[in-house]
Amino acid sequence: MAEKKTWEKFFDAHAPVYEDNVFTKNTFREVDFLLEELALQPGDSVLDVGCGTGRHSIELAKRGYAVTGLDLSSEMLARAAYAASAAGVNVGWIHADATRFILPRKYDCAICLCEGSFGLLGQGDDPIDQPLSILCNISRSLKPQAKAVLTVLNATAMIRRHTNKDIAEGRFDPLTLVESSECPPREGLPAIAVRERAFIPTELHLLFRLAGMSVLNMWGGTAGNWGRRDLDLDEIEIMIVARKIAEPSAAGGVEQHA
C-alpha cells in the first residue's frame, strides 16, 4: 500500500475535531450562496472535491441534488458517510487524490471549498503541477459550460503575515508562495510538517484557462465569511467562480469545444 501523503495523515488525525472549527459553522448559508451562483436545475449532479466531513455534500443532497464527495482522507470520509446516513441522504463517496482522479461520468457543477486539496501540497508536490492537475481533473469531470466554485488561499494575505526572517528560516518561500509549518492535527498529537500554497488572481486566471475554464468572478471568500465583496490584501481566501469552456488535453492546454 502506498505511503500516506502528508495531508492524508493530517486530516485522518484531524477528522474527529474538524467540525469544531469555527469556519465550518455556516454550511447552510454557504449552500444557499452556492445555489445562487451555480443556478442548478432540480436533481442536477454536483462533484465536491476535498469534501472533508461532507458538510456541503450532505446539505446539497438534502436539497435534492445528486452529490459525489471525493477526498484523500478515509477518516474524513468515514465521518461524512456516517453523517449522510444519519441525515437520511444518499451521497456517493470516493476515496481518491484530487491530483489523480478520473471519473466515469460528467457533472453539472463542481465545488472545491476551504482548500479542498487545491494548494494543500504533499512534501513532493510541485507548486504549479499540483493545482493545475486538480483543475484539469475537475474540468474533465464537468459537462460543457458547467460551473465550478473554489475557495483558495490568498497570496497577498500570506505575504503580509511573513517577514524576511521567515524566508531565511524556511517558513515562507516567495518564489513559490508556499508556507511551511509544523502543525499538530489535534491537541495532544505530535506536529506534522505541512506545506500550503497561496495564489494571486492573475495566476489563477492562467491556471483556470490552462484547464479549459474561464473565471467569471473572484471575490473575498474567507471561510465562514463568504460574500460578493472585492478582494483585499488581508482576505485569507479567494473565491473563484468559473465555467468550463474547453476540454483540457492530456498534455495540458485545451481543445476547444466544437
Ligand X SMILES: C[S@@+](CC[C@H](N)C(=O)[O-])C[C@H]1O[C@@H](n2cnc3c(N)ncnc32)[C@H](O)[C@@H]1O
- Three-state SS for 152? strand
Contacts to ligand X from residues 118-137, by CB under 6 A: 120
And the C-alpha cell for 192? 506534522
- Distance of closest approach, residue 120 Cβ to ligand X, in angstroms: 4
Residue number with CB closer to ligand X (86 or 168):
86
Sheet holding 66-71, edge to edge: 92-95, 66-71, 45-49, 107-112, 142-153, 237-244, 213-220
Q: Among all residues, whose Cβ is closest to ligand X?
A: 52
Residue number with CB closer to ligand X (186 or 257):
186
- Distance of closest approach, residue 96 Cβ to ligand X, in angstroms: 7
| 150: contact with ligand X by CB under 6 A | no
| 97: contact with ligand X by CB under 6 A | yes
- Distance of closest approach, residue 247 Cβ to ligand X, in angstroms: 22
| 73: contact with ligand X by CB under 6 A | yes
Question: Residue from 34, 40, 46, 76 that binds ligand X (CB under 6 A)?
Answer: 76
Which residues make Cβ contacts (< 8 Å) with residue 153, sequence separation at least 6? 115, 119, 196, 197, 198, 199, 236, 237, 238
Question: Residue from 47, 113, 211, 218 that binds ligand X (CB under 6 A)?
Answer: 113
Site string for ligand X, 6-45 (x = CB under 6 A): -x---x------------x---------------------
**CA–CA distance, 207 with 23 (Å, rounded to integer):** 27
Residue number with CB closer to ligand X (116 or 248):
116
Q: How far is CA 90 from the centre of its chain?
A: 22
- Distance of closest approach, residue 251 Cβ to ligand X, in angstroms: 21
**CA–CA distance, 243 with 214 (Å, rounded to integer):** 5
**CA–CA distance, 159 with 100 (Å, rounded to integer):** 29
| 139: contact with ligand X by CB under 6 A | no
| 235: contact with ligand X by CB under 6 A | no
Question: Residue from 37, 115, 179, 237 that binds ligand X (CB under 6 A)?
Answer: 115
- Distance of closest approach, residue 236 Cβ to ligand X, in angstroms: 12
Strand duo 66-71 + 142-153: pairing: unpaired
CA distances to 121, 130, 151, 180 from 124, rounded to whole Å, are 8, 10, 23, 13
DSSP 59-109: HHHHTT-EEEEEES-HHHHHHHHHHHHHHT---EEEE--TTT---SS-EEE
Interface positions with ligand X (CB under 6 A): 7, 11, 24, 50-52, 55-56, 71-73, 76, 97-99, 113-117, 120
